[in-house]
Structure formats: C-alpha cells, structure tokens
A and B are shown apart, each in its own frame.
Chain A
C-alpha cells in the first residue's frame, strides 16, 4: 500500500483490489469492499472470492451467449422452414402468407438476439415465450411435429432457462464487482 502525498489535508491509500483512492482511516474500501485494515488472511480471502466471482461472471456471460445463439439459430431455421413449407403448398395465397409469416418471425428472433446483448433478461424471456407458443401452435395443428428435432428443441429450452437464470445472477454480480 503506497502513500499518496498529493492530498495534504487527508492522507489517502490506493485500494489493493480496485485501485480507487480512499481515505486511510477507512477500514473498508467503499468502492469494492476490500478490507483495508483487515489481516493478511482476510485480504487474501477477499481477493480469492472476488476472482471467483469474476470467473462466475464469465460463466454467466457464456450462458447468455448460448441463449442468443439459440435465438439466431431459430431465426435461421424459421426462414428455411418458410421456404420449404411454401414450396410444398400449391395454393398461391397460402404460399405468400407462409413466407411472410416465417420471415416476420425470423426478424423478431434476430432482433431479440441482438437485443439480448444489452438487456439479456427481457430479450431471452420474450424469445423463449415466442418459441414455446410457436411450438404449441405447430403441435396443435400437426401433432406429429412435436417429435421432429425433439433433442434440439429440449437443448434450446435448456439454453433459454439457463440464460434467464444467468441474466438474473449477472445483474447482481455486476453491481458487486463494480462493473456497469
């Protein structure tokens, strides 16, 4: 801990953990909670916990990325499905309707995917609900469609649920770790 001599009235320390200048009378850093007056053991524990939290943060970010990836993948497959379905129907007005609907859906998924970088919770919850409703509509109109690609459906639902949980945790962690 090195002394900063530029402030004559109140001497300051630089926090070992977050490098913010704090008055040397404080027992704890008011920016990161580092025990400035604590024993070496306490300080070590603090640094370790903080590092662990940073690792958790990485992990949560990864899960949110997976959920965004799922959104993009679903967008892509929606477009492809739109083309396949419309090429198999003969009624021209239904062809157009199918293409338009699938295209709109894909755009919504892509928008949510992009938005999930900024507001992961809102974007993933919305995307997940939309996905579930589409699956249900398909299941009611063509009951056998539940089983097509069932593993990937379960995988995506898992990604979404983990994404929502991570988005909840990440907001809390970011505040604790002083990251905006």
Chain B
C-alpha cells in the first residue's frame, strides 16, 4: 500500500485501474470513466476472510497454550515436548497454506554477518537486562523466584532438552507462526505499523504472564520491525534464539549446573 503511494508521487502520472487512460497521479477517481482509484477498493471482503484465517490460527494456538498451562496432567516433560511439536506442526501448516505468497520471506537476501552479530548482541544484552529486572521484580513484588529447569532437571539430558524446547523450538516456530504467517497476513489488511503492533501484542499476551508483557511487547515490536525492514525471517529467528539461549544459560549458571 505505502509503496504504491510513494511510486505515484514520483511518477506524477498513473493509469486508471479500469479504462487504463493516463490520469494525474493524485486523482482519487478517473476523470474519463469515474472509476475509484484506490488499490483496496474491492478487497474489504477478502480482508475479512484473511482476518478470520488469522483468528483461526491464533485460537488454535491459544487453546494449546491453555491446555499446556492449566491442565495439571500435561505438566510433564513428555507432554511439554508433545505440545512444542504440535505448535510447530500448526505453525508450519498455516505458513504453508499460503506458500506461494509466504515463501519469499524465507529467502535470506543480502546476508550480512555484521548485521547478524549486531542483532545477536542486541538480543543478548536485552535478555540480560530483562532477566535481572524480572528476577528483581519477582523477588520484591511477589517474593518468589521462577525456574524453568525444574521440569527438565530429572532427565539425563535435561540441559540439552531445556535448550531445545526453550531456545530452538520457539525461535524457529514462533517466528514462523507470528512473524511469518500472522504478520504477512496482517500486512495485507492494515498498514505496516498497525500490523507490527497487532503481531507484537498478540505474541505477548499468548505467553499469559503479566509481568512479561513489559518486555515481551517491546521485544516483539523489535522482532517485527527487523522482519519488515530486512524482509526475511532469519534475523528474527537468530535474535529470538540468542535471547532465549541467554535465559537458559543464565539460569543453568545460577543453579550451578554448568
């Protein structure tokens, strides 16, 4: 949408969408046939369909998150891994449902190692700041501490499993689902800023932790911004991985496991 407008300003002439006559670039209507010249005049029905698809994806995700979080039976290592895989399958399925349109963001154009390192560093620093402030908040406000490792500690490969299910899986499949499928669809419905905000907000609230909202929204906005700016998913995947890996390493280090 925005790109089209910019293009028109540069060329100062456009062709009517209906009769193809040359008309002034800023005309809202064709002066020869009276047809309206906005790109999305006929697509509000399609937009509603897209919103419904997005809502379906999000509802399925919410349902799984609620089951995993609130049903006591599912709070075991095996179930937690099962839900991770299920979420991954859903993200891939939805992403592939519109493969022809979505595949472009899987391409890594203009790969730059410097950018990758820069984004990675930002993620690690952000993670460190968040980790210390959240620990402080949890201690001072709610006088409790949260550890993820409890779930994995009994297993022989607990550390490896923890890194796999906290750092690897979410980095790949949350990015694919949210910055991939969801953001891509929303970009067809609203402008870039709104799409980025909606994705970030939905991504943040599905974690169902209120203290986390404060850092999840900015972090998700950053991921969305990087994804839109670079037009590829992979910088986001790397940032998300760095961020979550830092959380894991810090926790294992605090607990004296490594």
Contacts and interface: CB of A to CB of B under 8 A. Distances in A.
Range class of the A interface residue count: 35 or more
Interface stretch (B85-93, B109-117, B196-204, B239-247): B196-204
Contacts of A137: 66, 70, 208
A140 interface: yes
Interface residues of B, number: 40
Interface stretch (A1-9, A66-74, A118-126, A148-156): A118-126
A27 B34 contact: yes
A126 B31 contact: no
Interface string A144-180: 0000000000000000000011001101100110100
Interface in B135-182: 141-143
Contacts of A96: 141-142
B58 A129 contact: yes
A120 B36 CA distance: 24
A133 B206 contact: yes
Contact of B29 (A33, A97, A108, A141): A33
B220 to A, nearest CB: 12
B62 A133 contact: yes
Contact of B28 (A31, A133, A165): A31
Contact of B48 (A28, A29, A141, A165): A165
Interface in B1-42: 23-24, 27-36, 38, 40-41
A122 B194 contact: yes
A165 B189 CA distance: 12
3 cross-chain pairs, A with B, having the tightest CB-CB distances, nearest first:
A33-B29, A140-B70, A28-B34
Interface of A: 22, 26-35, 93, 96-97, 100-101, 104-105, 108, 119, 121-122, 125-126, 129-130, 132-133, 136-137, 140-141, 164-165, 168-169, 171-172, 175-176, 178
23 contacts: A26-B31, A27-B31, A28-B32, A30-B24, A30-B30, A31-B29, A32-B29, A33-B28, A33-B29, A33-B34, A101-B210, A121-B189, A122-B197, A125-B51, A129-B201, A130-B201, A136-B66, A165-B48, A168-B189, A171-B40, A175-B28, A175-B40, A176-B38
Interface of B: 23-24, 27-36, 38, 40-41, 44, 47-48, 51, 58, 62, 66, 69-71, 141-143, 189-190, 194, 197-198, 201-202, 205-206, 208, 210, 213
